[in-house]
Structure formats: structure tokens, C-alpha cells
């Protein structure tokens, strides 16, 4: 049994909604930077999208666990560099890094495996033009894929035979791509180039691993003396500090190579024992390169090696054009819904348009706050989610209005039909929105990249749709039904339905009179 209309207090519901809007925009204007601007994604403000493809030494597909670990480390690196609004997501065996705005060059360095190891220098050679490569059974094989190249490089440049190592050092071309980059075996010797390609090194096996690094920090040039350029200062963990102290004590006047992913970044000579658990890397760094290396080492080594398979840069101009296109599409969608509702429902159509505008205001405020609190960025996929949500929100109004017209067709007045129609329509509205929200939630969990933005905005709009329908649309329709002017058939747009209802009521009355006379 539907409750009488008098039990509903529309003013109370509208007041609650007004308080929500006031509180929402008070947070927008008086928290954070106070600017009511949502964060925009790469396709709306420009930026860089980098795709990293994982590779393993044995050529097998990387495990899900190692990919997840790599994604988390790269995400930590992004956050540590202060790049706001970025996204790191898995796409098969790829890691996709999206960085809106500035910071694209930094993003391209985030896929470094950053496996820093310490090796003793056996011999240093100038990086002269490469001599003909020595012929070994491994090198006599026909060219193969990258895994074969890695195996061949290990057989010579990581041989336990000193003669083979020297031959490999003579043949090594520091200007060619290195198949051992990120793939060298720490338990074996290594022949490697420095980062500038100016020297070659014959190195012993690793005596100290980079995982023993506790912290790293970029340091500017010391005007009082010392290194003339930027350096990277390392602090070791307890076990690593002891190993470093023991090595430097036993190898004074010898050189220790700091090897990053198979490249020598620095090979300083040990002047005296270093007992404090610290080390400095100097490798002709500038501020940016020293900071990048310090952050990479600070946040850990990746469990996989990555090749940069794609680096896409979106200009800010293209981003503005995309934003304008999205806003135009949304405006056209809203206009079409408004025209349809005004033509079909008249007064109820006006209430629909008003509800949609209020819903858009709430959504905008929530977007601004989510950008500040959780770093949510609005992209074109998210705009598409909002456009689809316009239809879902309008559908909730239509369900209510059609249920209202059904009640009036049965002979009830506009005023008495509102509470009965609402009780019956709200179950359908809740069920429909629950299905839409569930679909958006499943899509968000299963999707990657920009599809998540679509799912998130669709789900959020669906929830806010319920807030507007319950706190705005229903109370406004109830108020209109109590107003003499607004409830006129010519104004409400319910004239044709009410005429059908009057005939139905007259027929029921005539039937009741006939039955009574009989």
C-alpha cells in the first residue's frame, strides 16, 4: 500500500541535497590549491605514454608475480619523482607508463632494471675500434635471436678463462647494442664498457650486490673541493657496510667498478679503507642524470629486464582539441536528451534537465576532489563514461515518469499518483543502477589502461544518479503535483494521460452504479 503524499517532505530532501552541494564545493574551494580544476589525463592535457616490453634471459614468458613486482617498483619510482597524475598498468607482458604534462623524459628512464653491483677491476683498456672477434664454437653459429646473442656474449665476455676474457675485451665494440645489458651473471667475471663508451673493463665476479643499498641521494658539486660534478651517495645496510669495509681495506690502490645493468658507471680507485658504510658514484653526471640514478637505486631493482617498445608523446595542443571534442560530444548528448524530454514530458522534462544539471555539478566537484585525494585523472575514456551515464541518469527519470503515467491512466490524480508511482519505480531504478554499477566494477577490475577510466566514471556517475533521483527528482515532482499551476494538464504534459484516466474513472463509476442498481 503506497503512503499518502502528505508523508513526503520534499523540502527536507532538497535541503539535504543543498547541504551536500555546499559541503562538496566548500572542500573544492577551501582545500588543496583552491582551484576548481580536475586533473586531466595525457590525452586531454598532453604528455607521454611509454610501453616497456619484458624480456627474460631464458626467453620464457615472464611470470605474473615478477610483472606485478616490476609494476609496483616502477610505480614507486614514479611517485618518488613527484610526477603527479601518472599511471602504471600491465598489458600482457608490457608495462604501460602514462605521464600527463611534463616529465616525459623522466618516464622514459623508469624501465631501467637498475641492478647495481660492485666488481673489482682486473684491467682497464681504451675503447679503441673493435678488433675482429675471436672465432669460438659459440660465435661460429649463425645469427639467431636475442637469446642466442646473450648466450654467445656470456660464453666469451663472462668466460672463466682469462685468455678468452682478454680476447673478448679486444673484440668488444662499445658503440654496439649490448646483449648483456641487464642479463650478466653476477657469479662470473665480466667484460664491460663504461657508459660513455670511452673505456673497457675486465672485472671479477660481484663481491657486493646492489640490494644491500639502504638509501641513495644525488649530491651537487662540492665548491670546497672533491668531485667537480654531481655524484650519487650510497648508504649500505649493515651486512653490505661490512662487506664494503672489508673490501676497501684489503684493496687499497685498487679500483672497484660500480656496474649498473652491465655498464660501468664509475670505477674509482680506493685511496683508503672506507669504514662508514658509504660510497660515492661519480660518472660525469648532471643534476638530472644523478637524480634519476639515485631514485632508481633507492626504490629497488626490477626483477625483469625491459625494452622500450614504444614512446608516444601527445602535444598539449592535441590534448586541448581532444578535450574540446569530448565536451562538444557531451553537450550534444545532453542537448538531445533535453530536447526529447521537453518535447515528450513538458514540465517533467524541465525537471529532468534541472536534475541532469545538478547531477553534473555534483560529478564535477567529486572529480576535482578525487584528483586531489587519490590522483584520479580524467581522460577521453572517462569523458565517454560520463556521456554514457547521461543516458543512464535520464533512464531513471523515465522509469519514474512512465510509472507515474500508468497510475494516472488508472484514474488517479497527479498528486495521488506520485507516491504510488515512486514506490513502484524506485525498485526498478535501484535494480537497474545496481546492474550498471556491477558491470562498471567488473570492467574496472578486469580492464587495463584507459578502459579503467571509463569504468570508474561510469560507476561513479551511477552512484551519484541515485543521489539526485532520491534527493532532487522525486521531491521536485512531489512539489509540482501539489502546485495548482504546475499540476495543470496543459503545463504538466499529462493532459492526454489524464483524459484516459478520467474515462477509466468514469467507466468504473458507471460500472459500479449499474451493479448497484442491479
Q: What is the CATH number of the domain that holds 253?
A: 3.30.1360.200
CA angle centred on 250, ends 247 and 254, rounded to 5°: 85
Residue range 35-46: mean pLDDT, rounded: 77
* 365/234 same-domain check: no
Taking only the tens place, the pLDDT of each residue in 436-453 is 899 999 988 887 666 788
Are 186 and 223 found together in one domain?
A: yes
pLDDT in tens, 465-518: 889 889 998 998 888 888 888 877 777 767 677 677 667 666 666 666 666 555
The pLDDT tens digits for 60-93 are 788 888 888 788 777 777 766 666 567 788 888 8
> Which secondary structure element, helix H or strand E, spans residue 157, and what is its range?
helix 146-157
pTM of the model as a whole = 0.56
Three-class secondary structure of residue 246 per DSSP: helix
Examine residue 517 and state whether it is found in any structural domain, yes or no: no
Residue 264 and residue 169: Cα distance in Å, rounded?
14
Regarding whether 130 and 102 lie in a shared domain, the answer is: no
Same domain as 426, residue 386: yes
In a domain, 370, yes or no: yes
Q: Residues 404, 364: one domain?
A: yes
Q: 257 with 335, same domain?
A: no
pLDDT in tens, 203-251: 999 999 888 888 888 888 876 666 668 888 888 888 989 999 999 999 9
Last residue of a domain, which of 267, 300, 333?
300
Burial of 82 (0-12, 13-18, 19+ CB in 10 A): exposed
Tens-place pLDDT, residues 95-133: 888 777 655 666 666 666 667 789 999 999 988 654 444
Please give the residue range of the domain that contains residue 53. 42-109
Reply yes or no on whether the pLDDT at 428 is more than 80: yes
Q: Are 476 and 10 in contact (CB under 8 A)?
A: yes
Final residue of a structural domain among 64, 81, 109? 109
Contact 146, 139 (CB under 8 A): no
**309: in domain:** no
Q: What is the DSSP letter of 40?
A: B
**CATH number for the domain including 322?**
1.20.1640.10
Domain annotation covers residue 518: no
Q: Does 434 fall in a domain?
A: yes
- Asked if residue 307 is part of any domain, the answer here is no
| Spatial separation of the C-alpha atoms in residues 126 and 124, rounded to whole Å | 7
How many domains are contained in the chain?
3
CATH classification at residue 49: 3.30.70
List b or e across 212-244, with b for residues whose CB sees 16 or more CB atoms inside 10 angstroms: bbeebebbeeeeeeebeebbbebbbeeebbebb
User: 292 and 156, same structural domain?
Assistant: yes
Q: Do 364 and 388 share a structural domain?
A: yes
Is residue 445 one of the residues assigned to a domain? yes
Does residue 138 carry a pLDDT above 60? no
- Mean pLDDT, range 362-370, rounded to an integer: 89
> Considering the domain boundaries, does residue 305 fall inside one?
no
- Measured at the alpha carbon of residue 296, what is the angle toward residues 78 and 247, in degrees to the nearest 5? 160
How large is the angle between the packed helices 380-409 and 316-345, nearest 10 degrees?
A: 0
Last residue of a domain, one of 231, 266, 300: 300
If asked whether residues 425 and 387 sit together in one domain, one would say yes
Q: Are residues 412 and 276 in the same domain?
A: no
In terms of residues, how long is the chain?
Answer: 518
Amino acid at each position: 500500500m503506497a503512503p499518502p503524499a502528505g508523508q513526503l517532505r520534499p523540502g527536507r530532501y532538497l535541503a539535504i541535497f543543498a547541504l551536500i552541494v555546499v559541503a562538496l564545493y566548500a572542500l573544492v574551494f577551501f582545500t588543496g590549491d583552491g582551484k576548481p580544476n580536475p586533473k586531466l589525463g595525457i590525452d586531454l592535457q598532453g604528455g607521454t605514454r611509454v610501453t616497456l616490453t619484458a624480456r627474460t634471459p631464458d626467453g620464457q614468458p615472464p611470470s605474473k608475480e615478477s610483472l606485478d613486482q616490476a609494476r609496483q617498483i616502477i610505480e614507486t619510482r614514479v611517485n618518488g619523482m613527484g610526477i603527479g597524475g601518472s599511471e602504471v598498468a600491465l598489458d600482457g607482458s608490457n608495462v604501460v607508463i602514462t605521464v600527463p604534462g611534463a616529465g616525459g623524459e623522466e618516464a622514459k628512464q623508469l624501465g631501467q632494471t637498475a641492478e647495481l653491483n660492485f666488481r673489482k677491476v682486473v684491467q682497464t683498456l681504451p675503447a679503441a675500434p673493435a678488433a675482429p672477434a675471436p672465432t669460438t664454437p659459440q660465435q661460429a653459429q649463425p645469427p639467431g635471436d636475442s637469446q642466442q646473442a646473450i648466450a654467445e656474449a656470456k660464453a666469451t665476455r663472462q668466460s672463466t678463462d682469462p685468455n678468452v676474457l682478454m680476447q673478448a675485451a679486444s673484440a668488444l665494440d662499445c658503440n654496439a647494442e649490448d646483449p648483456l645489458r641487464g642479463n650478466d651473471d653476477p657469479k662470473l667475471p665480466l667484460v664491460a664498457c663504461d657508459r660513455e663508451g670511452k673505456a673497457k673493463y675486465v672485472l671479477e665476479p660481484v663481491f657486493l650486490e646492489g640490494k644491500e643499498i639502504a638509501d641513495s641521494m644525488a649530491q651537487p658539486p662540492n665548491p670546497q673541493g672533491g668531485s667537480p660534478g654531481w655524484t650519487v651517495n650510497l648508504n649500505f645496510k649493515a651486512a653490505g657496510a661490512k662487506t664494503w669495509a672489508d673490501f676497501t681495506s684489503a684493496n687499497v690502490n685498487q679500483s672497484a667498478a660500480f656496474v649498473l645493468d652491465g655498464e660501468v658507471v664509475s670505477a674509482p680507485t680506493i685511496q683508503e679503507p672506507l669504514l662508514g658504510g658509504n660510497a660515492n658514484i661519480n660518472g660525469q653526471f648532471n643534476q638530472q642524470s644523478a637524480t634519476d640514478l639515485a631514485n632508481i637505486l633507492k626504490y629497488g631493482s626490477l626483477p625483469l629486464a625491459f625494452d622500450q617498445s614504444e614512446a608516444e608523446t601527445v602535444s598539449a595542443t592535441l590534448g586541448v582539441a581532444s578535450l574540446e571534442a569530448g565536451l562538444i560530444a557531451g553537450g550534444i548528448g545532453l542537448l538531445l536528451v533535453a530536447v526529447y524530454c521537453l518535447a515528450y514530458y513538458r514540465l517533467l522534462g524541465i525537471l529532468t534537465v534541472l536534475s541532469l544539471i545538478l547531477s553534473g555539478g555534483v560529478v564535477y566537484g567529486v572529480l576535482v576532489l578525487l584528483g586531489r585525494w587519490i590522483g584520479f585523472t580524467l581522460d577521453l575514456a572517462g569523458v565517454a563514461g560520463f556521456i554514457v551515464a547521461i543516458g543512464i541518469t535520464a533512464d531513471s527519470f523515465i522509469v519514474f515518469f512512465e510509472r507515474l503515467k500508468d497510475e494516472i491512466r488508472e484514474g488517479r490524480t497527479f498528486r495521488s499518483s506520485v507516491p504510488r508511482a515512486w514506490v513502484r519505480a524506485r525498485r526498478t531504478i535501484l535494480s537497474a543502477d545496481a546492474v550498471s554499477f556491477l558491470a562498471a566494477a567488473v570492467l574496472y577490475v578486469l580492464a587495463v589502461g584507459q578502459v579503467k577510466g571509463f569504468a570508474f566514471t561510469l560507476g561513479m556517475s551511477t552512484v551519484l544518479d541515485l543521489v539526485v533521483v532520491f534527493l532532487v527528482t522525486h521531491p521536485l515532482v512531489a512539489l509540482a503535483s501539489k502546485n495548482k499551476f504546475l499540476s495543470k494538464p496543459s503545463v504538466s504534459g499529462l493532459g492526454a494521460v489524464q483524459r484516459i484516466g478520467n474515462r477509466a474513472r468514469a467507466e468504473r463509476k458507471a460500472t459500479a452504479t449499474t451493479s448497484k442498481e442491479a
